[in-house]
Each structure stands twice: as structure tokens, then as C-alpha cells.
């Protein structure tokens, strides 16, 4: 479906504008380009107001398609001044290339947050013809001031802040202005300047937000650091400098002082050779400069990043039209083929002047001033009832637009994490297969009844209440998880095999956290009890909020988060200690096999980092739900700022730790691997493929890493581990589709330097996932200086072993699952084996966001009535308890391979908020207590079902609820 058809007619279209609206870099009358075919990926974009938007786009789409979609979503005409930047795998901030496909730029698109930001800063803001564009520039200036990038003297800083607060809170009123400045920081050291800011603010009376933006940009454009992004460098003498680029040319800074400038008219050529950045000047007899200036940067990549932005700045401000692409060389290429893509500033100005869209109003999100201003380009709380399918590319909802359902759509494609099924053991000691994991039977839990439904009707129906309730329920689970670690510390702490440093590290990290969160949970429980109206306090409305509790406790939690970056050291030290002591290794294995340890032990160690991400998400939902005038909005916003700062600091370390944890986990599942856990190796995907051999297609488990792919079979062992049969290095590997060649559906060939392997996936979707990840890994291996690919032990490297694979090795061994296991036989590897599917590291990482806890009602396919269960949703599984006080789950259900749908009318499920899980003949119905919970479970579990299907069914179902309320009973 071409972008802009369904999507633009929703929130992407300007009010009163014709259908043939030209956007961003498109010519007048054109619609956004057609979305290329292929697998879609969810891309997160952080806007200039710090909100995040989610876009669903083909990985094969170019960067321009995504950028145009963002501009369309904001109704932005002058989008060419902006860009999308992100941190690449070398930890450098780079701009998204409009020409290259997204898949070739983002290594982990689902886990990368792109930032929408100003890219080109014009010399005069009067050249920005739209008020919306100036508003976005003002937000950029506000960000640059806050982070210290836009340095200036105190008077200029105070003057700019006065214009910002004039646009946000309106005319000066002393007590209001002082209170606002005490609660909001606009510059790094604001307190000494409050009086000066208030003095300037008192002189801005009568200025509208648009006028305030104009005045802010008027001050900012005169500053030396306006629009400057410094790139560290050194001159030939080794002096530390910084290079920058502006509309005038290339600039040289020492600290924050400009010491030189090379105007475009004087520059003959810009180039780079390895780490050297070269500026070739035009001959000038009156100049003392050499013809060629040389600067040394940190790396070739740093040179290239700066060179590219110079090329773009020169083209945007100096050329009349977009440069034509270079003709492709016949035999070989020399140098970079990069070029500027998009309209030049002259083309933008000419186009906007000829259009009729400049005067269309919008409403500012951050302004409390009631002016006749404009419909916000960034989603405002007042308009969050409008569905946002335009930024996701999904089928529009049938629900009415004033439905509260549309405030937050579930995130399609957000994956869950690793599965670990911990079922109660049967009387004969057999451990059931994860393929047929049982749920609790009718006697396993308390049956709910209509009285329970009547009682629930008394509770608040406000969405904020259910968001706060999610905080409560997940905090209960998190506290239990912390208790697992403290119990582990007690179990191994008294043993002499445990190093003192390890004991102290665990004790000093987790004991204070457990104590703190015990108090935090108590406060949340008390607040929710008041909110639900169990006393008379709720009548005044003083307790129908949660932001104050979160702000207070997150500020109290900050001192405890300083040591969280050391959790990787705990993981590493625990691994080293287990290798050095068989006794400690046995203690850890025995503890991990206990029911209370329902997921791998080292995942619990990462829980504090994951929990910070959960707090951030909960606060984001509250801030999006509340109006800016709500009593809880300010506290939620402040708490969000605090936790976002901590999360951003720890994000890079978390990615490394999750990869390290996954390597440690996989090491336990594999036999025949000598050195899996080494620095530089990244896990990418594991899953089931059929390998073509002389005996036909044989089921194999494949493990893809950044340097090698392993293939294994499930061994006939009591430990249920997988036996490695071979390895293929990724360096020099190529892939080709082989369906026609071998006559096998979904077949493709891995062509290595010394060996080729033909494999077949279970479906087209699985084949596409594998091929995309393989291609990405092969590209990584070309430039990687990572570990050697030789993973196998010496007695496993003989090719004769590969040829000696037997069908017994690959046949699912139910008997091995039934033996008393020294190693868990229900890990994610086993679930993928049974379900004939795969899962990637990106899925594991993003899955952290979808952890949930709370009560669900469950019904079997042929049973009567519903059972109330406490459910923990994590690691690709639902874990079932009788109540939240239980220490361990009674049963579990791994969800990989399950489909998620809405019950049909023929199934006679006449209840609200019911979703259906089914895999082959296994069918379960689950019922949530609210529309919000229904959305949350749907967005979390829906990756198990075909792309977009659950979203369509979900909104169709809710639309039916709103149109026919009498059809369904109350929860």
C-alpha cells in the first residue's frame, strides 16, 4: 500500500489541506513513495519535545522513506532543515542517509532510537517561513541550552530562558515564574540566574508563543556556538582542536572559541585519507595559509562522518538544486559515492512561498498560554484520542475516534524475551516437554464468580489508575526477583569456594536495593488503596495520582544506581569463580534448578537495570495520558527526566551485559564448544532449520554469532544439551536462495570458503529472518577485528564427525526430557527446537520492555467458568501462580510459536477484553480486567502472531465493543 493513502488522511494530513499535499523533500502534488516489500521493522524516533513515536517500515526502505514518514506525521513542510540521527555500532552519532536502505545503516533497528533534530542551521531565522518550523527550532535551542552545547554569557542565557518561559507559561507573575524556574531547569547552572531571568521575563509581557520563539532565535543566531556540533581533531603540531561546519564554511575551534574559518568560496576541495582530514584552499597570494591544511582525527570513520556533513552543508546552502548522482563506473570505483540527497535551501524557500499552507494553525504542546495558535505537530495530551496508524502503517481501527482506546496503540513487533518453563514435576518425576506445557487444572486455583466482577466495578476507571496499578503489580514481582538474588547470596555466601569479592559485590549491590524497594512497594500499595477508595481520603482527589510517589522514590533510588554498571563485573566474577571451583559450580547449578529460580540465575542479576526501563515506560504513559494542567503531570514529568537520565547513562553497558549473559546461557546448552564466551563476540540468532544431507532433511539447531554460525543436534544425554556438529566462519561467506535448485521450499545455501551447507526454514517468514540476520552478520565480519571463529574442541573438528551424523541425533528425544536432568531441559533453545522456530538477540533485548505482572482470568477451550491466576509475563513465557504472595510458579506456558487472536462469535466468549492463545490443538482464553491491560498484553504477546494481525483484530474488537456495548458482560 503506498504510504500516505490511509496514513496521511489521519493525523498526518493538515486540516483543510488538499489531498495532494507535498511533504518534506517531495515535489508538490506527490505522495510519499511506495513502501518496498519485505519484512517490516519497528523504528523508534525521539522527537524534539522528548516524546517517542513508533514507525512501522520495511527494512528495505531507504532512509528517505522513514524521514518523509516522520515529516508527514508532524505535518512538517520545511522538513529539509531537519534529519534523523542515531548512534552507530562505533558509538558515533551519525545522520541517517536518505539514499541507503535502513537495513544497511541500523545494525539493530528495533533497538535503536533515532533522534529527530535540526541538521542545517540557517543564518537568519526569517528564512524559516512556517511558524511550526520556528517552533521546532526553538525546541532544539532549548535542548542545546539545557545540555550545555549552546554556551554563552549569563545575560544571553537568562534572556533566552525568559523567552522560553514566556512561550510556556505566559505573561510574568512573580510567584508563578519563580516556582516554575525552581521546578524546571533550562540551563546547567540556573539557580544564580533566576532573578535575572525573572527581570527579563517581566519585560516580555504580551508576547505570544510565536513571538517568543522568534525572539529566542534572534538571540541564539548571534551566538558563536549557534548550531555548532564539535568534532575533535588535532593540527599538525598536535594541538587539541575541534572542527565544525556552518552555512559559511568549515570552522576551527579551540575549546568553545572560534579561532579560524574557511569560507566555502575559499575551499577548493575537502577530502580525507585514513585519519587525516584535508582542506584544499584556492590559491591566494595575500594569504599566509598553505594550499592544503591537514587535521588529524580519532579514526577514519570520524573523518568520514565529518566530511559527509560538510558535503551536505555545502550543497544545502550553496547549490540551487539537488546535485545529480554520479554515473556508475564501468570497472571499478574510486573514493566515496556519497552525495547530498534532498532539496537545497533555495528550493525549500521557493516551494513554501508558492504554497498555501503557511497560515494553517497548530497547537503547541509545551505552552500553557491560551492563544489562537495551532494544532500541535507533536501529539498533545488533548488530542491523544486520535489514532496514530499513520506512523505505523497498519490497518485503521474501526473504533470511534473519541474512544480512549486510541490514546496508546500496542507496539507491533515489540518482542518478548527468553522462555523458561518451570512446571511442577509430575509424580513419576518426568519433566514435561515445553511443547505441551500444562496450565493449572480446575483445582489449581480459585474460581472467580460474578460477585468478583461486581466488586471490580467500584474501582476507578481512569486510565492513569491502571497505569499506576501496573507499577504496583510489576513492583511486587521485581521485589520477589531481588529476593531470589539475596537468597542465592545466602546459599553460597557461607561456602569457602565463593570468593569474598563476589560475596561483597552481591551483598553491597542487592541488599540495599531490596531494602529500598520494600519501602517503595509499601508506599505504592498505600497510594493505590486510597485511590481505589478504601477510605474517605479519595473524595478530595488528593490521592488519585502516583507521580509524587515516583518522583520522591526515584530521587531516593539515584544513589543506589551508581553501582549498577558494575553488574557486568558480578556476572564475570561469578563465571570465573564457577570455572575455578567445581563445588561452587554445583552450588549454582543446584540453586538454579530450584523452583524459585524460574528464569536463568544471571538474568536476575540484570533485573535492576531492566526495572529502570520499566519505570521510564510507565512515566511516559502517564505523561502522554495527562493534560499539562493535571495535578500529577509536573511530578510525572520531573520523575521521567530523572529516570531517563539514568537509563541513558546505563544503556550502552546494558547492551553489553545482555549479550554477555546470553553467551553464558548458551554455553550451558551446548556440548563441544571450547571458547564461546570471548570479548567481541556477539550473539545474533538461534533457531531450528532443516539441514540437507545425503539422508535428506534433518532437523538441526543453528546458532548465529558475529563471527561464526554453529549447527547442532539434540544429543541423547541426561543433560538435554545440544551437540555441536560443525561450524561455518562468516568471513567470506555468501548466501543464495536455493528453492529451485533443490526443490525444497524456503531453502537457502550458506556458501563458506571451505564448506557449503543447504538449509530450509519452516516458513517464508523464518527464511527472511535468517537471511537478513546472516547478511548483517557477514557484513559485520568483513570489518570486525573480533575473535577467531574456531569454537569447536579438538576432537569435534574432524570432518568425518559431520558426515557421521545419525538420525537418532536429530530426532526429538522425549525420553531425555523424562530423565532427572542435571541441566534444564526447557530453556529457550529447547522451546525453539520443539516449536521449530527461532529468536534473535534483538528480540531478547526489546523483550525487556514487555514484562508484566497481574491477575488474569483463564479459561480452557472446553471448560466452564474462569479461573483467577496471578501471572508473570517475562522471557517469552507466562508463569502462573495462585497469588502474588507465592514464591514460585506452579506452571508456565512458553509462547514462542503461539498465535494471538480475538475469539470469534462462534466461540461464545461473551466477555470484555478476552484474547486467545493457540498452538496446534492447544487453545487458551485469557481475560484482563481493563482495556488498558488488554492493550498491554496484546502489544507484548502479539509478536507471536503474524505481523499486524493482532492490531487489526484488537481494534476491530474494541470497535465492536463501543458500537455494541450491550453485547458483552462486565469483567
- Sorted by where each begins, the domain ranges of the chain are 230-318, 465-668, 672-783, 851-962
Q: What is the DSSP string of 343-395?
A: --HHHHHHHHHHSS-TT-----SS-----S----SS--GGGTTS--GGGTT-P
Per DSSP, 422 falls in state -
Please identify which residue in the block is written with the cell numbers 488488554.
934
Q: In the CATH hierarchy, which top-level class contains the domain 851-962?
A: mainly beta
Predicted local confidence at residue 479, as pLDDT = 95
Please identify which residue in the block is written with the cell numbers 564466551.
677
Which three three-digit cell numbers place residue 199? 527581570
Cβ-based neighbours of 377, under 8 Å, separated by 6 or more: 74, 75, 76, 132, 135, 136, 362
Give the span between the Cα atoms of 319 and 344, in whole angstroms: 7
Judged by DSSP in three states, 216 sits in helix
Per DSSP, 286 falls in state T
Cβ-based neighbours of 140, under 8 Å, separated by 6 or more: 48, 117, 118
Pairing of strands 756-760, 683-693: antiparallel
Give the span between the Cα atoms of 824 and 668, in whole angstroms: 9
Predicted local confidence at residue 689, as pLDDT = 94
Handedness of CA 488, 492, 493, 498 (dihedral sign): negative
Give the span between the Cα atoms of 121 and 228, in whole angstroms: 9
Residue 178: CA count within 13 A, CB half-sphere: 4
The answer for 905, left when phi > 0, alpha when psi is -120 to 50, beta otherwise, is alpha
Q: What is the DSSP string of 725-743?
A: EEEEESTT-EEEE-HHHHT
| pTM score of the predicted model | 0.56
Cβ-based neighbours of 952, under 8 Å, separated by 6 or more: 394, 395
pLDDT tens per residue, range 313-361: 998 988 877 766 665 554 444 556 676 778 888 888 888 876 655 445 5
Judged by DSSP in three states, 862 sits in coil
**HEC string for 471-526:** HHHHHHHHHHHHHHHHHHHHHHHCCCCCCHHHHHHHHHHHHHHHHHHHHHHHHHHH
- Inter-CA distances, 760 with 509, 693, 763, 767, 813, Å: 46, 11, 9, 8, 22
Give the total residue count for the chain. Answer: 971
Predicted local confidence at residue 787, as pLDDT = 54
Give the span between the Cα atoms of 499 and 439, in whole angstroms: 41
pLDDT tens per residue, range 205-229: 989 998 999 999 999 999 999 999 9
Q: Are 137 and 82 in contact (CB under 8 A)?
A: no
Please identify which residue in the block is written with the cell numbers 570458503.
753
> What CATH number matches the domain at 672-783, 2.30.29.30, 3.20.20.140, 3.30.70.1400, 1.20.5.510?
2.30.29.30
Collect the ranges in the chain with pLDDT lower than 70: 1-34, 284-290, 323-337, 339, 354-363, 365-460, 534-542, 715-719, 785-826, 942-971
The answer for 92, left when phi > 0, alpha when psi is -120 to 50, beta otherwise, is beta
Predicted local confidence at residue 653, as pLDDT = 84
**HEC string for 547-607:** HHHHHHHHHHHHHHHCCHHHHHHHHHHHHHHHHHCHHHHHHHHHHHCCCCCCCCHHHHHCH
Residue 106: CA count within 13 A, CB half-sphere: 29
Q: In the CATH hierarchy, which top-level class contains the domain 230-318?
A: mainly beta
Q: Are 894 and 437 in contact (CB under 8 A)?
A: yes
**Radius of gyration over alpha carbons of the chain, in Å?**
30
Alpha-helical runs (H) found in 743-797: 764-783
The dihedrals phi and psi of 507, each to the nearest 5 degrees, come to -65, -45
The dihedrals phi and psi of 252, each to the nearest 5 degrees, come to -120, 130
The dihedrals phi and psi of 317, each to the nearest 5 degrees, come to -95, -20
Which three three-digit cell numbers place residue 701? 539447531
Predicted local confidence at residue 720, as pLDDT = 75
Predicted local confidence at residue 237, as pLDDT = 87
With respect to CATH, is domain 465-668 assigned 1.20.900.10?
Answer: yes
The dihedrals phi and psi of 43, each to the nearest 5 degrees, come to -110, 130
Closest alpha carbon to 571 in 678, 674, 664, 682: 664
The dihedrals phi and psi of 54, each to the nearest 5 degrees, come to -115, 130
Per DSSP, 792 falls in state B
Predicted local confidence at residue 4, as pLDDT = 34
Cβ-based neighbours of 327, under 8 Å, separated by 6 or more: none
Which three three-digit cell numbers place residue 654? 546494558
- The yes-or-no answer to whether 230-318 and 672-783 have a common fold is yes
Burial code of 421-443, b = ≥16 C-beta within 10 A, e = fewer?
Answer: bbbeeeeeeebbbbbebbbbeee
Please identify which residue in the block is written with the cell numbers 584544499.
280
- Inter-CA distances, 400 with 4, 386, 508, 664, 961, Å: 21, 9, 53, 49, 10
Amino acid at each position: 500500500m503506498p504510504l500516505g493513502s490511509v496514513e496521511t488522511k489521519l493525523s498526518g494530513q493538515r486540516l483543510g489541506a488538499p489531498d495532494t499535499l507535498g511533504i518534506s523533500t517531495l515535489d508538490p502534488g506527490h505522495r510519499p513513495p511506495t513502501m518496498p516489500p519485505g519484512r517490516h521493522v519497528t523504528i523508534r524516533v525521539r522527537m524534539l519535545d522528548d516524546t517517542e513515536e513508533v514507525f512501522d517500515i520495511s527494512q528495505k526502505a531507504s532512509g528517505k522513506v522513514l524521514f518523509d514518514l516522520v515529516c508527514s506525521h508532524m505535518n512538517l513542510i520545511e522538513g529539509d532543515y531537519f534529519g534523523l540521527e542515531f548512534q552507530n555500532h562505533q558509538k558515533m552519532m551519525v545522520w541517517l542517509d536518505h539514499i541507503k536502505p535502513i537495513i544497511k545503516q541500523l545494525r539493530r533497528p528495533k533497538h535503536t532510537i533515532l533522534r529527530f533534530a535540526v541538521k542545517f542551521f540557517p543564518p537568519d531565522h526569517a528564512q524559516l517561513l512556517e511558524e511550526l518550523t520556528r517552533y521546532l527550532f526553538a525546541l532544539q535551542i532549548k535542548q542545546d541550552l539545557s545540555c550545555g552545547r549552546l554556551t554563552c554569557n549569563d545575560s544571553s542565557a537568562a534572556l533566552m530562558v525568559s523567552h522560553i518561559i514566556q512561550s510556556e507559561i505566559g505573561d510574568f507573575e512573580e510567584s508563578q515564574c519563580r516556582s516554575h524556574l525552581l521546578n524546571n531547569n533550562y540551563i546547567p547552572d540556573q539557580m544564580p540566574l533566576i532573578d535575572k531571568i525573572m527581570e527579563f521575563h517581566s519585560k516580555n509581557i504580551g508576547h505570544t508563543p510565536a513571538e517568543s520563539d522568534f525572539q529566542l532565535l534572534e538571540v541564539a543566531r548571534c551566538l558563536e556556538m549557534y548550531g555548532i556540533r564539535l568534532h575533535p581533531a588535532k593540527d599538525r603540531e598536535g594541538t587539541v582542536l575541534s572542527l565544525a561546519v556552518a552555512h559559511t564554511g568549515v570552522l576551527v575551534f579551540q575549546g568553545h572559541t572560534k579561532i579560524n574559518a574557511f569560507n566555502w568560496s575559499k575551499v577548493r576541495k575537502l577530502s580525507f585519507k585514513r585519519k587525516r582530514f584535508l582542506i584544499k584552499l584556492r590559491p591566494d597570494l595575500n594569504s599566509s595559509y598553505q594550499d592544503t591544511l591537514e587535521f588529524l582525527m580519532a579514526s577514519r570513520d570520524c573523518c568520514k562522518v565529518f566530511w559527509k556533513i560538510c558535503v551536505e552543508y555545502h550543497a544545502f546552502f550553496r547549490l540551487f538544486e539537488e546535485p545529480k548522482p554520479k554515473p556508475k563506473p564501468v570497472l571499478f570505483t574510486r573514493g566515496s559515492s556519497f552525495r547530498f540527497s534532498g532539496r537545497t535551501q533555495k528550493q525549500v524557500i521557493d516551494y513554501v512561498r508558492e504554497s498555501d499552507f503557511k497560515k494553517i494553525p497548530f497547537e503547541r504542546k509545551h505552552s500553557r498560554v491560551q492563544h489562537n495558535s495551532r494544532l500541535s505537530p507533536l501529539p498533545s495530551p488533548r488530542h491523544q484520542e486520535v489514532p496514530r496508524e499513520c506512523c505505523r502503517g497498519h490497518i485503521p481501527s474501526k473504533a470511534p475516534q473519541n474512544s480512549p482506546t486510541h490514546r496508546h496503540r500496542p507496539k507491533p513487533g515489540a518482542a518478548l524475551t527468553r522462555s523458561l518453563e518451570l512446571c511442577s514435576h509430575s509424580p513419576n518425576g518426568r519433566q514435561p516437554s515445553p511443547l505441551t506445557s500444562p496450565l493449572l487444572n480446575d483445582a489449581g486455583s480459585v474460581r472467580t464468580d460474578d460477585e468478583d466482577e461486581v466488586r471490580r466495578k467500584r474501582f476507578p476507571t481512569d486510565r492513569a489508575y491502571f497505569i499506576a496499578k501496573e507499577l504496583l503489580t510489576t513492583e511486587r514481582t521485581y521485589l520477589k526477583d531481588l529476593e531470589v538474588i539475596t537468597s542465592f547470596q545466602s546459599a553460597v555466601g557461607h561456602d569457602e569456594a565463593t570468593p569474598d569479592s563476589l560475596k561483597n559485590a552481591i551483598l553491597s549491590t542487592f541488599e540495599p536495593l531490596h531494602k529500598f524497594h520494600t519501602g517503595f512497594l509499601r508506599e505504592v500499595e498505600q497510594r493505590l488503596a486510597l485511590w481505589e477508595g478504601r477510605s474517605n481520603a479519595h473524595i478530595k482527589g488528593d490521592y488519585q495520582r502516583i507521580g509524587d510517589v515516583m518522583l520522591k522514590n526515584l530521587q531516593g533510588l539515584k544513589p543506589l544506581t551508581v553501582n549498577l554498571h558494575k553488574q557486568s563485573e558480578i556476572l564475570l566474577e561469578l563465571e570465573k569463580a564457577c570455572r575455578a571451583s567445581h563445588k561452587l559450580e554445583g552450588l549454582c547449578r543446584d540453586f538454579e534448578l530450584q523452583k524459585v529460580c524460574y528464569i536463568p540465575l544471571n538474568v536476575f542479576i540484570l533485573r535492576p537495570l531492566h526495572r529502570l526501563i520499566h519505570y521510564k515506560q510507565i512515566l511516559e504513559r502517564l505523561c502522554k495520558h495527562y493534560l499539562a494542567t493535571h495535578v500529577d503531570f509536573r511530578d510525572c514529568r520531573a520523575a521521567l527526566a530523572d529516570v531517563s537520565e539514568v537509563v541513558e547513562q546505563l544503556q550502552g553497558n546494558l547492551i553489553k551485559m545482555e549479550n554477555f549473559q546470553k553467551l553464558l546461557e548458551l554455553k550451558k546448552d551446548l556440548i563441544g564448544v571450547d571458547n564461546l564466551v570471548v570479548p567481541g563476540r556477539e550473539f545474533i540468532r538461534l533457531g531450528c532449520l532443516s539441514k540437507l544431507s545425503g539422508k535428506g532433511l534433518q532437523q538441526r539447531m543453528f546458532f548465529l554469532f558475529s563471527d561464526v554460525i554453529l549447527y547442532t543436534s539434540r544429543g541423547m544425554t541426561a543433560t538435554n544439551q545440544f551437540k555441536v556438529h560443525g561450524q561455518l566462519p562468516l568471513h567470506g561467506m555468501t548466501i543464495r536462495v536455493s528453492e529451485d535448485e533443490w526443490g525444497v521450499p524456503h531453502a537457502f545455501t550458506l556458501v563458506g570458503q571451505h564448506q557449503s551447507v543447504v538449509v530450509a526454514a519452516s516458513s517464508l517468514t523464518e527464511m527472511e529472518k535468517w537471511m537478513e540476520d546472516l547478511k548483517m552478520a557477514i557484513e559485520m565480519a568483513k570489518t570486525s577485528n573480533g575473535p577467531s571463529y574456531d569454537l569447536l574442541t579438538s576432537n569435534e573438528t574432524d570432518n568425518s564427525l559431520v558426515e557421521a551424523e545419525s538420525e537418532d541425533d536429530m530426532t526429538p528425544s522425549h525420553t531425555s526430557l523424562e530423565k532427572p536432568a542435571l541441566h534444564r531441559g526447557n530453556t529457550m533453545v529447547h522451546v525453539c527446537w520443539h516449536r521449530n522456530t527461532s529468536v534473535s538477540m534483538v528480540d531478547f533485548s526489546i523483550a525487556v520492555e514487555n514484562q508484566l505482572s497481574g491477575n488474569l482470568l483463564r479459561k480452557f477451550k472446553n471448560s466452564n467458568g474462569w479461573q483467577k491466576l496471578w501471572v508473570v509475563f517475562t522471557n517469552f513465557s507466562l508463569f502462573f501462580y495462585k497469588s502474588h504472595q507465592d514464591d514460585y510458579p506452579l506452571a508456565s506456558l512458553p509462547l514462542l510459536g503461539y498465535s494471538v487472536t480475538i475469539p470469534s462469535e462462534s466461540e461464545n466468549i461473551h466477555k470484555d477484553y478476552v484474547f486467545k492463545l493457540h498452538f496446534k490443538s492447544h487453545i487458551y482464553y485469557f481475560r484482563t480486567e481493563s482495556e488498558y491491560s488488554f492493550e498491554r498484553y496484546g502489544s507484548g504477546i502479539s509478536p507471536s502472531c503474524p505481523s499486524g494481525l493482532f492490531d487489526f483484530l484488537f481494534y476491530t474488537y474494541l470497535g465492536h465493543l463501543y458500537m455494541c456495548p450491550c453485547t458483552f458482560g462486565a469483567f
